[in-house]
Amino acid sequence: MIKTSMTELFGCKHPIMLAGMNWVTEPKLVAAVCNAGGLGIFATARCTPEETRKNIREIRSLTDKPFGINQILMFGKIAQDTIQVAAEEKVPVINYTLGKPWFIDQVHAYGGKVLGTTATVKHAKKAAELGCDAIVVTGNEAAAHGELPTTLVLLPLVTSSVKIPVIAAGGFGDGRGLAAALALGAAGISMGTRFSLTKESIVHENFKQLCLKASESDTLYSDKFDGMPGRALKTPVTERMVKGGFPAVDALKGAYDVKKFLNLNWMQFLGMSFKMMGAEESHPLWVQARQAAGTMRHTKALYDGDMKEGIFFAGQIIGACSDLPTVQELMDRIIAEAEATIKKEHAMLA
């Protein structure tokens, strides 16, 4: 058994976390990770606040172990309402990304813990100063959104800069990785890609199989997928997008999704489209439209297995994923391998 400041802080058996992934970290997968001894995180940004409440209750019906939610803070009012619901439901761990947490005292008041997600030393230090209980640090190898520094460089810099537990993300999938993260000062690891390739994951079989065949070089890092720099599986669609394929067409489709999301009538939609045509690419409407389009393509991959239009966010660790174990099998394997690695390293001292 491996005991760290992460297992102590969150009360989980193993220092392994399921990274928040919208549409992927559904209650069954979250509970499977918790029941196998890890810390399961449910990503809420795809939900209305009331859907979040329903999902939290479903997770509680499937496990009595600690779990968390992950919310993207830049989504304004809906993020505030979601955090409020999570606090009312006394969710043990509130994990946030992309924003400044206003709810730390509120969460601490019911005994919950706040877990920030960062990708630079500066933001990690800030999260510690603000009063977070722990942080996730994500290196460039990771699936989806991230910054340029890689895990091997970023992790020791962060663990030397803050006193709170640090959970390493980006490029982890086995026990040697866990042992390496601990050696670099981390208190545990967080995995997205590896958990998305398990039996319990809802990811469409088409994309699971593509990932199993892929090498460590078969991902692309670009801001063309949804407007923010991120990593996705290399496919004909993502290759075309990176070369400058169809972001404008996508943004228009995205604008239509924004129309639906904001409940605009056709006159308002036309007004919005004219505004977009005269605006810089960095205008919030363009950003929203690109995100909506990226989300549409992502769900097409996850649910429909659509290889023509779908985008699957995947990390470089796909190159080391060659099977689809159950969550329990994966967790047991990682812990056994990490223990063996630590023992072997320790023996070198003699």
Ligand X SMILES: Cc1cc2nc3c(=O)[nH]c(=O)nc-3n(C[C@H](O)[C@H](O)[C@H](O)COP(=O)(O)O)c2cc1C
Q: How buried is residue 61: exposed, middle or buried, by Cβ count under 10 Å (0-12/13-18/19+)? A: exposed
Is the Cβ of residue 24 or residue 184 nearer to ligand X in the bound state? 24
Q: Which residue has the tokens 């005292």?
A: 105
344: Cβ–Cβ under 8 A, 6 or more apart, which residues? none
Measured distance CA(266)–CA(272) in Å, rounded: 10
Q: Which residue has the tokens 């470089």?
A: 316
Provide the minimum distance between the beta carbon of 115 and ligand X in the complex, in angstroms, as a whole number.
12
Is the Cβ of residue 132 or residue 276 nearer to ligand X in the bound state? 132
Question: Which residue sits closest to ligand X, CB atoms considered?
Answer: 192
Provide the minimum distance between the beta carbon of 334 and ligand X in the complex, in angstroms, as a whole number.
12
Is the Cβ of residue 103 or residue 172 nearer to ligand X in the bound state? 172
Provide the minimum distance between the beta carbon of 199 and ligand X in the complex, in angstroms, as a whole number.
16
Is the Cβ of residue 286 or residue 313 nearer to ligand X in the bound state? 313
Catalog residues that contact ligand X under the rule CB under 6 A: 19-22, 24, 43, 97, 138, 141-144, 169-172, 191-194, 196, 313-315, 317
Provide the minimum distance between the beta carbon of 59 and ligand X in the complex, in angstroms, as a whole number.
17
Tokens of 258: 């924004």
Is the Cβ of residue 7 or residue 295 nearer to ligand X in the bound state? 295
Measured distance CA(83)–CA(98) in Å, rounded: 14
Tokens of 92: 């043990």
Tokens of 307: 């290889």
Provide the minimum distance between the beta carbon of 139 and ligand X in the complex, in angstroms, as a whole number.
8
Question: What does each C-alpha distance from 321 to 15, 151, 215, 218, 314 come to in angstroms?
Answer: 20, 18, 9, 12, 11
